Amino acid sequence: MNYNNRPVPPTSSLPPLNRLSAHSLSQVTNALDNIRILYFPPPSPPRRYSLRNRALQHRHLIHDDSVPDSGYASAEEDDEDTGVVEEVVAIPVSSSVEGEGDGEEPFDIDVLRSDTFERAFAIKWLTAFAARADVWISTSPIEEDERTQAVDDAANILASFVGAEPEQALTRAFSFPFLGSKADTIEVELNDAPLLSGDHTSVGLQSWASSIILSERMCAQPATFRLDANSSRNGGRILELGSGTGLLSISAAKILQRYGALENTTIVATDFHPDVLANLRRNVDTNFTSFHNAIDVRCLDWEYLDLAAPFDKPFDIILAADVVYHPSHAAWIKACVYSLLAKPTATGAIGGVFWLIVALRASGRHEGVADTVNDVFPSAQDVRLTMSSEWELAVLHQQRLERQGGIGRADEGGYKLFEIGWVRS
């Protein structure tokens, strides 16, 4: 970046978004560097002074040698000049930098950094850039990797703006039309807790668009998801993987409650992170004040599956929303479902069903991860062609769903809903 060696206002440095495809990779990366230097500068290193003192015949660092050293300030090397005392003094770098030429007004970076209009402009630009990133990346296929990295950098900077102020917990109220009727709704209240800084495994503290979309469909068409009166009258077992805030489990429980079938149904909501589980229990208690055993909240590790109770019996329905955000997740989840989903029996009992919805992301670090679902779960037609007599998990049906206004992150281009079950030839 070369902005006369100092940051410049975002309003004069960020390229116009209406001509984004015409701007080069270097122009965009320079603009991002300017934002980063302006609002999130790296910590200044301590200034180092060497003072001559011939009366001393050894080298000594001012820091206390009895304190365990971090390795940043104590890499001592032998020095032939034993008359040097090396003093390390941390001096704050002044935020005011005088102009180099006579008559130039002093430049105060704090004034620019505290300008609320410039800050808001930068945030708005980063948000819009993320929404249009696909077009900008596609204009130069040869630089696709570098441009994708730039988009990731922009997302990280935007996240830093969000994280600059303490995020507050948010209570969200959902109202889903029951059986398609706006007059009759399923009401769910959730606590979306702030994400834990630096802990990517705490994503379940917040509700994601995919779970909202699937919950809405479940409430509108319970029979499709085997949650109607006929399917649930004899009781059953329902499992949610990666429950997060518990929206799917709570919605399913409230649907069954409408049919008077909740007491005969076992619902287990699972996650891994302890803070996510604590928030999940809170949400279950909030929605079922008079029915404390409506949903059983449990810890479940996909990679190292423990089949102790309540996982010692198969489930009739397994639900999961936006649980595939790493290349390994689809394989882990398939292993879980293979062990936990009820298989068809010789007596004619139908097998269980696994409903999975994933977000489709065309850019960023999660680009294409949703495709691993099809890599791991074959189509029902392909399994039938193998002429195998063994039951295999396969995709019975899949549907592409478009984004809904006001729901979802900027990098979510849509969603794919999978119906997965047991198939053999």
Checking if the pLDDT of 50 tops 90, the result is no
Supply the mean pLDDT for the chain: 80
Residue 9 to residue 386: CA distance in whole angstroms? 63
Give the pLDDT band of residue 184 (cuts 50, 70, 90).
very high
The mean per-residue pLDDT over the stretch 216-223 comes to 97
How would you classify the pairing of strands 107-108 and 96-97? antiparallel
Complete domains list, the chain, with CATH: 10-43+110-163 (no CATH), 45-91 (no CATH), 170-423 (3.40.50.150)
Helices (H) and strands (E) in the chain, counts: 13, 13
In sequence order, what are the residues at sequence separation of 6 or more whose Cβ sits closer than 8 angstroms to the Cβ of residue 61? 73, 74, 76, 86, 88
Residue 258 burial class via C-beta count within 10 angstroms: exposed 0-12, middle 13-18, buried 19 and up: middle
Of 337 and 81, the one with more pLDDT: 337
Of 25 and 109, the one with more pLDDT: 25
Residue 86: per-residue pLDDT: 35
Long-range CB contacts for residues 160-166, cutoff 8 Å, separation at least 24: 160/39, 160/40, 161/39, 161/119, 161/122, 161/123, 161/126, 163/197, 166/194
- How far are the Cα atoms of 102, 204, 208, 300, 315 from residue 305, in angstroms, in the given order? 71, 19, 25, 7, 15
Q: What is the pLDDT of residues 139-154, one digit of tens each?
A: 898 999 899 999 999 9
Give the pLDDT band of residue 210 (cuts 50, 70, 90).
very high
Residue 215 to residue 252: CA distance in whole angstroms? 8
Give the pLDDT band of residue 193 (cuts 50, 70, 90).
low
Q: Determine the angle formed by the axes of helices 209-220 and 247-258, rounding to 10 degrees.
A: 10
The mean per-residue pLDDT over the stretch 402-416 comes to 79
Residue 364: per-residue pLDDT: 64
Residue 118: per-residue pLDDT: 84
Give the pLDDT band of residue 106 (cuts 50, 70, 90).
low
Give the pLDDT band of residue 185 (cuts 50, 70, 90).
very high
Residue 300: per-residue pLDDT: 97
The mean per-residue pLDDT over the stretch 191-202 comes to 55
Checking if the pLDDT of 85 tops 50, the result is no
Checking if the pLDDT of 52 tops 50, the result is no
Residue 171: per-residue pLDDT: 84
Q: What is the pLDDT of residues 283-322, one digit of tens each?
A: 999 999 988 789 999 999 999 999 999 999 999 999 999 9
Closest of 309, 323, 308 to residue 420, by C-alpha: 323
SS3 75: coil
